[in-house]
Copies of this chain bind each other. A is one copy, B any other.
Amino acid sequence: MKRYEALADDIARSIRNGLLKPGERLPSVRQSSASRKLSPATIFQAYYRLEAQGLVESRARSGYYVTRAAAALPPEPETPSRPDGESREVDVSELVFEILQSAMTRDVVPLGSAFMSPTLFPLDRIGRAMATAAQHLDPWSTVDDLTPGNAALRRQIALRYLIDGMDVGADEIVITNGALEALNLCITAVTQPGDAVLVESPCFYATLQSLERNGLRAIEVPTHPRDGIDLDALEAAIARHAPRACWLMPTFQNPLGSTMPEERKRALVDLLARHRIPLVEDDVYAELHFAGKRALPAKAFDREGWVMHCSSFSKSLAPGYRIGWVAAGPRAQEIARRKLTTTLNTNVPAQIAIARYLERGGFDRHLRRLRTTLAGQQARYLEVIAQAFPQGTRVTRPAGGYFLWLELPEGADALHLQQRASRMGISIAPGPMFSASRGFGSCLRLNCGHPLDARIGTALQELGKLAGTSPL
């Protein structure tokens, strides 16, 4: 744990146990720096993190104050999931589609949506890059940029890995129609129907749907709502089931928001390499961190080429452009060939446009703004949830992304809640969507990626009220 993280956690504890009360002022950066023997920059980072968590707020020329909501924030979920350890066929698609379909109009309050507000992206600047790319298209680029994809874009992606200190060459990158295609290409490249695949519990429903479609069995592994998958349980599952692949989101997991600490990511990669199990790493939320630094992916610790790192620009820059990629290591050619026979290629002007946007700079500036926005939104959602949801509700406070995971009090029925909310024009993502064994019946995922306006505020209030009334 970084120093600023330790400091922030320390202060957060003081707030939660009442040592620091709502409205009280934190020591100034200079005071703290002196008393704690830490650099002012570290103090600032810690305060910034607390602000992102909604625990403190800055007041102009006056310093940082404990928010009124801080003390009242519901506790975080603390218990790792406890799936039954079986491997099983997946049959979740019908439920997922039913729920998603009910949420696919603008009229519905998008608390169950998987997308953040499209208004948070620099669609104007990307649109201009797209206009230039399309109007000056070299006709031959429609052939040259065939899978594995546009060379300039692959180079820009490789450069971003390099900035993180990772050695990922442009030649191991394959451009795909969003991360979802990358993930599907990877999992089908390393499995046969009937094989078992290790996943988190809870697990992103699109992962479960992919397993279902490809006739793969899911082994749900206990996962902590803050620190991610349990490595001991993972090792036990490997011994028991001889799985052929592992498909995880080690950073800002969907739906939990959990992130494995880097040393555990390293241990994960070592463990899988030892058992020669490929890791399909879904890392689409990595850029949306609130803590000042990108968490390294598991891929960063991959020395033998077992990790296929999948990501995209859909959550960070250009939704609807469908530009994703996989850094597939030694499997790059195999993945490229698989793509050549399934979708052949990815929209060429969009590839060029994003390459151009990245070359011009401005991505990091946009990301800084976006992260601040998302951190602030999370804080505001947490405040409303704190006072609207029934006593006993637990809520995650992920350090990035735009999902909150709620554990409702014992006995709550999230599927029932979803139906009642749906009738009021509010969508939510109930826990059973995220589980092959239909667990998490009292949990739900809420999207905090939309600015908390009056409509959403009201919806959260109503939802909290619904959650507090007995399910008929």
Contacts and interface: CB of A to CB of B under 8 A. Distances in A.
B184 A342 contact: yes
A279 B142 CA distance: 30
Interface string A130-172: 1110111101111111100000000000000000000000000
A332 B178 CA distance: 22
Interface residues of A, number: 61
A209 B341 contact: yes
A33 interface: no
Interface string A304-345: 000000000000000111100000000000000110111111
A145 B341 contact: no
B118 A143 contact: yes
A113 B215 CA distance: 35
> How often does this chain occur in the complex, in copies?
2
B341 A321 contact: no
A301 interface: no
Contacts of A209: 341
A121 B138 CA distance: 12
A87 B350 CA distance: 41
Contacts of A180: 341-344
Given A135-B127, A140-B118, A320 B349 contact: yes
Given A93-B337, A142-B319, A343-B178, A137 B115 contact: no
A272 interface: no
B142 A178 contact: no
A141 B181 contact: no
Contacts of A132: 131
